[in-house]
Structure 1
Amino acid sequence: MYKWWLVGALVLVCTCAMADDWAWRETYRYLPPASARARSYLTLRYSAYALSVLWTLGGLLLGLKLNLGRKVCDRLRYSPAWAQAILVWITLATFLAVWSLPISAASLAIERAYGFATETAGTWTADRVAEWAVSLLYAPVVLLALVLIRRSPRRWWLWLGILLIPVGLVMTVLYPVLVEPLFNKFQPLRDEGLRRDIAQLASRAGVHNPQTLVVDASRRTRKTNAYVIGLGPTHRVVLWDTLLRTRRRDEILAVVAHELGHYALNHIWWRFVLESLGGIVVIFLLAQALSAGLARYMEHLGVCSLQDPAVIPAAYLILYLLLIAQTPIEAAISRRMERQADAYGLSLFPNPDATARALARFAAENYTDPDPPKCVVYGFASHPPLRERVRAALEHAGSPRPTR
């Protein structure tokens, strides 16, 4: 009897291994390895990402070396602390906006060299100005932090984290209608047949009266994408116009089914909750680092105390380092949600072939890496590798017949 159990177990293991090998081999029919051109592009993009992080750190260190915070406060020595804090933040934001221009220009040059970028110099300049203007909106948060430090020196981090939760909720609701229109134009989907098909998918997903908008991404790029954003009255599915121009209808529906999965699984709410809790932890670590750092380098930084607005550049440097450190955790959570949305999308729109084709097109159209290095995946990738996602789609319903 024992032998028969052993034989059965071996047969089961071999069957699972063969099925897994089949699915993995089948992915190459949809998703060949990256071409030499795509590989060179990806190498440049990965290098540009690493360089941008180091460049930003260099700018922040230079700001400390120049003593920007202390110089601004000295010029406003007879002004109230709140005015000093706001002007220090405006100065720092402006300095970083200018400092980031070479990296932004290099990124545009890479996109243009590989035929992706379509934006003009005017659009690029307008985007940089808009980004700078949006960064200035964080001044009230900086001011709130300094007020809380003065009123509750020991627990200011907790109060700030708690107070930022409703602020974050409001911004999640308003961001699609206040900030995104600064960069792009959004219009309702005009294709009535596609809109009807999407409405049927949404109804099955329990998403009622969804807004399906088309964004003019082609003003900047030839790449394709789609995403969900907003909460409550502003929740919407956004399709890039480039996606509509290049994809077949079943591929578009597969992409939309995935995005609807994020709503049906409450990923936006879960992300908000996790980011709120993570924000409190980050602010706590910021408070500890500031207290320890100021005790050691206060004189060198020209900072009188934690309540001094001149501390803002140092605080931002520490915050940036903490955000970099949490990137792998945030990326891991995002990849888990993307896998869940993939599975939900396949149950909502059970067409594994269309899903596999839709995913594979991202590699062809965007030069998305089908087989990224492990350090990229675990370091900062927000989505699972494309080959893993295509394999999961093919395993969903046996062996679909590829359509070309």
Structure 2
Amino acid sequence: MLRKWSFRALMLYFVFGLLMYIYLFFLGDSTIPEEMMGTSADPATFMNSRELMLSEEYSKIRNLLFFMSTPYEWLLYFLILIFGVSRAFANWAEKTTKFAFLQKAVYLFWLNILAFVIVYPFQYLSFYFSTTYNISTQNFSQWMGDELLDFWINYILMLVIVIVLYALMKKFKKRWWLAAWALSVPFTLFIMFVQPVMIDPLYNDFYPLQNKELEAEILTLANEANIPAEHVFEVNKSEETNALNAYVIGIGSNSRIVLWDTTLEKLSKDEILFVMAHEMAHYVEKHIYFGIGGYLILSLFGLWIIAKWMEYLIQKHGNDLKIKEVSHISSFPLFLLLSSFLLFMASPLTNLSSRYTETRADRYAIELTEDKEAAISSFQELSRVGLSQVNPPYLVKLFRYSHPTMMERLSRLEQFKEEE
């Protein structure tokens, strides 16, 4: 049974990988429709031939890594279960100490170490190709430092979740998922509140805009949108990447709009003002709160489904999975596997919702700045510098794109110009 299950899982993974490779490199259509050729949405109008070639190459590699790494994570957790690794870690932790808190800490440490080592090749390949294509500016030691920082932050957060989750599983045999969801609401809000001031500064330096002339114009724009001035920050991302970005993060008094210094260096003043207006739209229209609300609703249904699946799988295949009961710590890889699977399956819906809010933010920015030319050129530069496909294949858009494709954004701007 063990050999049959592991063989089938490996074969399914390799078949999936082969199909995705064929789709991304041969079948997926990323060409520009004939009616868009020669317009601002045509990458041939703002990229040279080398940039066009590199953007196609890099996008295909990056998309393949994404579609291969996600089921790889499922395969990892599945094999950890059926080969008894999770059960062995749990037994080891129980022999190490008599305190339940420390047992979970020991178990989770070794599980995370194993996952880190096994997933490392995908992480390194992502770093290698981003460096090869001149997207990343980090050297190996800098990148590895961030990876280790990620490991410890994730370990601490996961340890808190595991301790609370398995205490609830023991106390509420049938309704643990509801209790877990109820506690996840304040926990999620707390993490969102402290992330801009406690977590993000561990990776980068955040400071007020240094260009005072530009700052004055941004503050004027922020005043028109009724946004407190202290919510605009600059971050030194040029130490990591050549890509451009800006975003809204945090809630309450810690909410802020953040501009990467690469964006400030490579875009013109008018383009930066458009990007800022786009991010201001998220603040004005409370998109981050709607996002949190949607996440909490989906997590309620997700936890309920996970609880039902875990109960069924352990009752029917508990011996094969080497799990005693749902509330035993050895079931944690099963929880992670099901969570990852549901998040992946829900991503087309969450991405669709995100693309809607991004479209609204684009329109808001155009109405606020009244500068469609700056909007067009900023989107074109974002694509050119990031080596992004303007019109990605359908499955890539469905599962990866939380923003509208550049072709969609630029074609809408063309329509706005025609309407004027």
Q: TM-score, normalised by structure 2?
A: 0.86
Q: CA deviation at 1:139?
A: 1.0
In the superposition, relative to structure 1, how do residues 227 and 255 fare at CA in structure 2: closer, same or farther (>3 Å)? same
Letter in 1 for 2:225: A
Change (3 A) 1:346 1:31: farther
Query: Residue 91 of structure 2 aligns to which amino acid in structure 1?
Result: D
Letter in structure 1 aligned against 2:245: N
Alignment of 1:112-127 (within 5 A): 112-127=131-146
CA contact (8 A) 2:235 2:259 kept: yes
* Residue correspondence of structure 1 range 218-297 to structure 2 within 5 A: 218-297=238-317
Q: Which residue is equivalent to 1:46?
A: 63
| Worse-matched range after superposition: 382-391 or 62-71 | 62-71
1:191 and 2:211 matched? yes
**What secondary structure does 2:418 align onto?**
coil
Provide the residue aligned with 1:11 in structure 2. none
SS at match of 2:258: strand
Structure 2: which 5+ runs fail to align? Answer: 1-33
- Aligned residue number for residue 67 of structure 1: 84
Matched to 2:89, the amino acid is V
Task: After TM superposition, give the deviation of residue 301 of structure 1 in Å.
Answer: 2.3
Give the equivalent residue in structure 1 for 2:347: 327
- Unaligned runs of at least 5 residues, structure 1: 1-20
Q: Deviations over 1:315-363 (max 9, x none)?
A: 1111111111111111111111110111111111110110011011111
Give the CA deviation at 1:59: 2.1
Mapped contact 1:88–1:312 kept (Cα < 8 A): no
Deviations 1:351-395 (A, max 9, x none): 011001101111111112111111111222111110111122232
Aligned-residue offset at 1:22: 8.4
SS in 2 for 1:77: helix
Q: What secondary structure, in the 3-state scheme, does the structure 1 residue paired with 2:259 have?
A: strand
**Amino acid paired to 2:159:** A
2:366 is matched with which residue: 346, 371, 395? 346
Of the structure 1 ranges 42-51 and 21-30, higher mean CA displacement relative to structure 2 is found in: 21-30
**More displaced 10-residue stretch of structure 1: 206-215 or 347-356:** 206-215
For residue 94 of structure 1, what is the amino acid of its counterpart? I
Q: Is the 8 A contact 2:248 2:258 kept in 1?
A: yes
Q: Which of 139, 147, 167 is matched with 1:147 structurally? A: 167
- Tell me the residue number matched to 2:40: 27
**Counterpart Cα distance in 1 of 2:102 and 2:316:** 27
TM-score (norm 1): 0.89
Give how far 1:29 is off.
6.5
CA distance, structure 1, for counterparts of residue 37 and residue 364 of structure 2: 21
Deviations 1:170-203 (A, max 9, x none): 1101011111112111121111111111111111
CA contact (8 A) 1:85 1:310 kept: no
CA distance in 2 between partners of 1:172 and 1:224 (Å): 23
User: What CA distance in whole angstroms lies between the structure 1 residues aligned with 2:419 and 2:262?
Assistant: 30
Aligned 1:294-313 pairs, distance under 5 A: 294-313=314-333
Point out the structure with max Rg over C-alpha: 1
For residues 285 and 307 of structure 1, the distance between their equivalents in structure 2, rounded to whole angstroms, comes to 16
**Structure 1 residues 117, 186: CA separation in 2 closer, same or farther (over 3 Å shift)?**
same
Q: Which moved more, 1:342-351 or 1:24-33?
A: 24-33
CA contact (8 A) 1:214 1:238 kept: yes
| Aligned partners of 1:353 and 1:394 also within 8 Å | no
Give, in whole Å, the separation in 1 of the partners of 2:273 and 2:370.
10
- Per-residue Cα deviation, 1:65-85 (whole angstroms, up to 9, x for no partner): 442321122224362444333
Q: Deviations over 1:91-145 (max 9, x none)?
A: 2222212222111111111112112221012111111101101111221111111
Change (3 A) 1:22 1:155: same
Which string of whole-angstrom CA distances, capped at 9 and with x for unpartnered residues, describes residues 6-56 of structure 1? Answer: xxxxxxxxxxxxxxx988853246764871221111111111111211332
For 1:28 and 1:102, the matched residues in 2 are separated by 36
Q: Is the 8 A contact 1:210 1:237 kept in 2?
A: no
Larger deviation, residues 112-121 vs 54-63: 54-63
Q: Do the aligned residues in 2 keep the contact of 1:346 with 1:396 (CA within 8 Å)?
A: no
**Whole-Å separation in 1 of the counterparts to 2:369 and 2:111:** 48
Alignment partner for residue 94 of structure 1, among 113, 122, 128? 113
Displacement of 1:239: 1.0
Is contact 1:228–1:259 with CA below 8 Å preserved after alignment? yes
CA contact (8 A) 2:43 2:390 kept: no
User: Match of 2:248, SS?
Assistant: strand
- The answer for the alignment partner of 1:13 in structure 2 is none
* Mapping for residues 11-22 of structure 1, pairs under 5 Å: none
Q: 2-side partners of 1:111 and 1:335: how far apart?
A: 25
State how far apart, in whole Å, the 2-side matches of 1:344 and 1:229 are: 18
Count of aligned pairs: 381
